[in-house]
């Protein structure tokens, strides 16, 4: 197992400044997910940690030991890639055993480790098969098995599920999480998928343009985003963003409608200030029962109804924004319906439109 320390990491590809001063501490046994839009530098960061890319500044250390000049093979890392190239003419057993044979492990020890990994991954009955006789999900399990048998101190996953169909992906995601709980090794996992990041991570590191935008526990980032970017990246459907002005203890929208601010929030905001309200679809509810403080009434005209089965999404106009509210099924059936909602301003966020930081 290993603790990973990254300090001031810089990486250029020619003129492209791919990593701009990354500082990161990953604790022993932690499951850390690098997430962010395509091109933000996640794979580059992972590859520099693996030693597959040179760095142009800063440092990387495992358990305090600097990795400068240490080649990938000597870093004792196990990696699982998106393209899990298995050896086509070797059966599952030999594919998993390959790295152990290369390191001259004894036959009995190879057998023991392969059997254990195969049992953990539920591929015990497939050991004699060739890769072409396996489904995509089974192949991905073999690739993970190959990483698990090595007694690596660090596990790195680079978008390992992105070639699988949605249903398989859900299953494998649960399996990877269970595997981590079982073996408890420090793991870094790269994905562009926010659901994968939320469900797998002990800690999410959200990257944007080669810098860490925010890092923390999944629910911490979800509930207390520091920026509009983080708020918009996590959560599906996305958070609604609506521009407004503070006016006499309320948020006033461009169509003249207003939401009364909870007193504690109102006290901190200067009259006349322009803001962006960030409110998730699930922060709306149907008016009717007793409202908590912070839940303020809003009458809307529903323009679009999208049932998903358990929940229904209702879209309406507020100021200049199209806003989506998540409601129980059957709350609203047809467009044109007038609906009395409650907006939970205790859970919503307010963003400074200039800095795009949460205020
Ligand atoms: P992500 O994994 O988040 O999609 P990458 O780490 O692959 O992003 O890329 C970060 C940036 O570096 C991007 O602008 C990408 O185009 C650039 N980049 C990545 N690899 C190379 C390379 N081998 N040569 C040149 N530019 C690269």
d(CA 34, ligand 1 centre) in Å: 14
pLDDT digits (tens, 9 = 90+) for 281-332: 999 999 987 778 789 999 999 999 999 999 999 999 999 999 999 999 998 8
Instruction: Check if 37 has its Cβ closer than 6 Å to any atom of ligand 1.
Output: no
CA angle (30, 116, 34) in 5-degree steps: 25
- Which residue do the tokens 């990246």 mark? 233
Question: Could you tell me the pLDDT band of residue 10, with boundaries at 50, 70 and 90?
Answer: very high
Section 196-222 average pLDDT: 97
Nearest CA to ligand 1 atom 16: 39
Question: Could you tell me the pLDDT band of residue 50, with boundaries at 50, 70 and 90?
Answer: very high
- For the chain, the 3-state helix, strand and coil shares in percent, each to the nearest 5, are 30, 35, 35
Question: In angstroms, rounded to a whole number, what is the distance separating the alpha carbons of residues 109 and 149?
Answer: 10
Probe ligand 1: pick from 13, 33, 160, 208, max atoms within 8 Å of CB? 13
Question: Could you tell me the pLDDT band of residue 172, with boundaries at 50, 70 and 90?
Answer: confident
d(CA 230, ligand 1 centre) in Å: 21
CA-to-CA dists, residue 107 to 98, 103, 111, 260, angstroms: 12, 12, 6, 72
- Please state which of the ranges 3-7, 144-148, 225-229, 350-354 shows the lowest mean pLDDT: 144-148
Nearest CA to ligand 1 atom 22: 13
Is the C-alpha dihedral spanning 8, 11, 12, 17 positive or negative? negative
- Cβ neighbour number for residue 310 with a 10 Å cutoff: 7
Alpha helix (H) ranges present in 158-217? Answer: 166-183, 194-200
Residue pair 354/271 in contact (Cβ under 8 Å)? The answer is no
Instruction: Check if 43 has its Cβ closer than 6 Å to any atom of ligand 1.
Output: yes
Section 215-232 average pLDDT: 97
DSSP letters along 58-93, please? EEEEETTEE-TT--GGGG-EEEE-SS----TTS-HH
| Of 107, 110, 106, 109, residue with least CA distance to 96 | 110
pTM: 0.92
* pLDDT at res. 140: 86
Question: In angstroms, rounded to a whole number, what is the distance separating the alpha carbons of residues 214 and 198?
Answer: 14
Question: In angstroms, rounded to a whole number, what is the distance separating the alpha carbons of residues 92 and 121?
Answer: 12
Mean pLDDT rounded to a whole number for the chain: 93
Is the C-alpha dihedral spanning 19, 23, 29, 32 positive or negative? negative
* pLDDT at res. 1: 59
């Amino acid at each position: 197992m290993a603790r990973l320390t990254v300090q001031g990491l810089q990486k250029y590809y020619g003129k492209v400044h791919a990593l701009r001063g990354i500082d990161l501490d990953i604790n022993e046994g932690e499951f850390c997910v690098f997430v962010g839009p395509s091109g933000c530098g996640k794979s580059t960061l992972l590859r520099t940690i693996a030693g597959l890319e040179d760095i142009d500044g800063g440092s990387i250390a495992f358990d305090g030991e600097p990795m400068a000049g240490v080649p990938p093979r000597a870093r004792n890392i196990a990696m699982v890639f998106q393209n899990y190239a298995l050896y086509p003419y070797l059966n599952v057993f030999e594919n998993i055993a390959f790295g152990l044979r290369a390191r001259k492990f004894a036959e009995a020890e190879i057998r023991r480790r392969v059997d254990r990994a195969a049992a953990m991954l539920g591929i015990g009955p497939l050991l004699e098969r060739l890769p072409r006789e396996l489904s995509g999900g089974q192949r991905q399990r073999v690739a993970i098995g190959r990483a698990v048998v090595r007694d690596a101190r660090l596990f790195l996953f680079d978008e390992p599920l992105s070639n699988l169909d949605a249903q398989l992906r859900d299953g494998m995601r649960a399996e990877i999480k269970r595997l981590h709980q079982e073996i408890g090794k420090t793991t870094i996992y790269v994905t562009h998928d926010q659901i994968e990041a939320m469900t797998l991570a002990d800690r999410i590191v959200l990257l944007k343009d080669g810098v860490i935008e925010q890092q923390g526990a999944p629910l911490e980032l979800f509930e207390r985003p520091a920026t509009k970017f983080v708020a918009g990246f996590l959560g599906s459907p996305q958070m609604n963003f609506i521009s407004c002005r503070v006016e006499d203890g309320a948020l006033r929208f461009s169509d003249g409608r207003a939401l009364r601010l909870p007193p504690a929030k109102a006290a901190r905001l200067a009259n006349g200030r322009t803001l962006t309200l960030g409110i998730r679809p699930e922060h709306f509810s149907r008016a009717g029962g007793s409202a908590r403080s912070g839940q303020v009434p809003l009458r809307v005209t529903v323009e679009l109804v999208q049932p998903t089965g358990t929940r229904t999404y209702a879209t309406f106009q507020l100021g200049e924004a199209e806003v989506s509210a998540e409601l129980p099924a059957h709350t609203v059936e047809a467009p044109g319906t007038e609906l009395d909602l409650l907006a939970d301003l205790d859970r919503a966020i307010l963003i400074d439109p200039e800095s795009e930081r949460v205020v």
